[in-house]
């Protein structure tokens, strides 16, 4: 039986005022309905914001360690339900069990992390220039935060927005992506059970053009955090900043891995395969370009083709790579594969939908490798949100850096090299918010800043770690002459 889900507003589970619902389906078996959610309206969103505004001061006045205790209990509840939520992510988003379980574990860790960070929110003391003066800072919440989250990490990304916002005394309204809203709902079930006061956290499901827009433009919303596509993100940024709100956006990527002539080809192929084909390539940090020195190029192409062809595709409960999340995402990937072929790239692996009984009507695509890709090709410049890798040949390290930087995005980038000088130069010269050495472009630590440059981000505020706290707080300086 599909799970029926309600909105969570002012401490109560409630239906949309319009009474409509929508369904999510299993991308491995689209005939299976996974859950139903509220098809909410702008009125529902406005009600949620009003509840958050009423509750915010009381939550801000709650001692920070007490707020942290609620987050700690939330983490424990999620941990108790980890198996159930893992299964939900696999059925609703298409991740493998290993990927989904890792994501749920990440959400649990985030709530534990910010539960402890809540003890460190006391500001700082400084030496005053004059006598008999105390000079120090205090940290205050921004107010009401509107959080809009994507489908590709349906519990981890909501967690890394919700936890720091609540730890620092803000109230929140969350609009999760409709295509995989179950992870966010699971967080709110845990928050409710953990004893969060009414109105402090609210979730409203439904279309971004109505629910999201109502949250972004509401006069009582003080800050907006958005993760999603660049096209939507720029609209969100413009609307929110027009009203003077604090805004952070994390958008797309066209992430490169540079393979130098000093690298082990086998190691490089392992690193690139993990970054390109993990989570079916549906990550903003996924590797979509391997930029390879000419001396290693042929051997690397052979090795990465072997890695791609060895991946077992199928339902996430039993195979290494699951389906894409929807028919629209699958069609977009297949369209880019056609474009790459038309532009003259050489298809070396994959390139189509796999055949066999286990695939049925699922939204599967083969891990795909293109060689002979030119930096000017669309496949090398535009984000392809699927397991498609472009391999680009370069003559030297300087050309590799130039090609890596010659795109509109700058989120994550890596280099595979045994030359320490090249590694340091890569860190200095790459235009990306995340730089990795001998590691895949995907995978993030939760206690350090995350964000991009250029069109990958608004370049305003970072997420996670102390940076996540910074976005949700305002520092006030106090001069106390006694």
Clarify whether 287 is annotated catalytic. no
Instruction: Report how far residue 217's alpha carbon sits from residue 466's, in angstroms, rounded to the nearest whole number.
Output: 27
Please check whether residue 451 is in contact with residue 457, taking contact to mean a CB–CB distance below 8 angstroms: yes
Could you give the CA distance from residue 26 to residue 474 in angstroms, rounded to a whole number?
Answer: 42
Pick from 253, 251, 273: nearest CA to 391: 273
Assign residue 374 a region (left: φ > 0; alpha: ψ between -120 and 50; beta: otherwise).
beta
- Cα of first residue to Cα of last residue in the chain, in angstroms, is 68
Q: Coil, helix or strand for 10?
A: coil
CA atoms of 372 and 405, how far apart (whole Å): 19
Contacts of 235 (CB under 8 A, 6+ apart): none
Return the structure tokens found at 151: 């489908």
Question: Rounded to an integer, what distance in angstroms lies between the CA atom of residue 74 and that of residue 112?
Answer: 9
Give exposure, 445-465, as e/b (b: 16+ Cβ within 10 Å): ebeebbbbebbbbbeebbbbb
The helix (H) or strand (E) run that includes residue 454 is strand 453-454
Q: Please choose, from the candidates 104, 99, 114, 112, the residue with its C-alpha nearest in 3D space to the C-alpha of residue 187.
A: 104
Catalytic residue among 284, 303, 388, 401: 284
Which residues are bridge partners to 22 per DSSP? 37
CA angle, corner 382, sides to 378 and 386, nearest 5? 105
Q: Would you please indicate which residues are annotated as catalytic (active-site) residues?
A: 284
């Amino acid at each position: 039986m599909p799970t029926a889900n309600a909105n969570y507003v002012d401490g109560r589970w409630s239906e949309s005022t319009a009474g409509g619902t929508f369904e999510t389906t299993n991308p491995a078996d689209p005939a299976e309905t996974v859950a139903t959610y509220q098809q909410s309206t702008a009125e529902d969103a406005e009600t949620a914001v009003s509840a958050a505004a009423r509750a915010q001061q009381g939550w801000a006045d709650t001692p920070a360690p007490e707020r942290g205790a609620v987050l700690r209990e939330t983490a424990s509840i999620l941990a108790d339900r980890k198996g159930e939520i893992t299964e939900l992510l696999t059925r609703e988003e298409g991740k493998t069990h290993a990927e989904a379980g890792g994501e749920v574990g990440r959400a649990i860790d985030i709530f534990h992390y910010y539960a402890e960070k809540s003890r460190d929110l006391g500001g700082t003391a400084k030496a005053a220039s004059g006598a008999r003066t105390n000079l120090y800072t205090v940290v205050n919440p921004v107010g009401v935060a509107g959080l809009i989250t994507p489908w590709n990490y349906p519990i981890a990304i909501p967690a890394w927005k919700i936890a720091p916002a609540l730890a620092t005394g803000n109230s929140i309204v969350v609009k999760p992506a409709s295509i995989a809203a179950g992870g966010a709902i699971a967080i709110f079930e845990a928050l409710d059970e953990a004893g969060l006061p009414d109105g402090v956290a609210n979730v409203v499901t439904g279309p971004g053009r109505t629910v999201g827009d109502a949250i972004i433009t509401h006069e009582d919303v003080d800050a907006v955090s958005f993760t999603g596509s660049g096209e939507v993100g720029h609209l969100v940024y413009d609307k929110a900043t027009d009203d003077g709100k604090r805004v952070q956006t994390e958008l797309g990527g066209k992430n490169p891995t540079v393979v130098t002539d000093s690298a082990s080809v086998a190691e490089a192929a392992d690193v690139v395969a993990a970054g390109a084909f993990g989570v079916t390539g549906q990550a903003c940090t996924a590797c979509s370009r391997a930029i390879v020195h000419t001396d290693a190029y042929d051997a690397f192409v052979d090795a990465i083709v072997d890695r791609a062809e060895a991946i077992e595709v199928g339902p996430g409960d039993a195979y290494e790579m699951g389906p894409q999340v929807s028919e629209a995402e699958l069609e977009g990937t297949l369209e880019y594969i056609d474009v790459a072929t038309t532009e003259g790239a050489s298809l070396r692996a994959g390139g189509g939908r796999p055949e066999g009984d286990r695939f049925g009507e699922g939204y599967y695509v083969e891990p795909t490798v293109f060689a002979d890709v030119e930096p000017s090709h669309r496949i090398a410049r535009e984000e392809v949100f699927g397991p498609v890798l472009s391999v680009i040949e370069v003559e030297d390290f300087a050309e590799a850096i130039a090609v890596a930087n010659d795109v509109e995005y700058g989120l994550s980038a890596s280099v595979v090299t045994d030359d320490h000088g090249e590694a340091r130069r890569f860190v200095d010269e790459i235009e990306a918010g995340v730089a990795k050495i001998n590691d895949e472009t995907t995978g993030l630590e939760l206690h350090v800043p995350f964000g991009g440059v250029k069109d990958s981000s608004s370049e305003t505020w970072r997420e996670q770690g102390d940076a996540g706290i910074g976005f949700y707080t305002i520092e006030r300086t106090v001069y106390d002459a006694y």
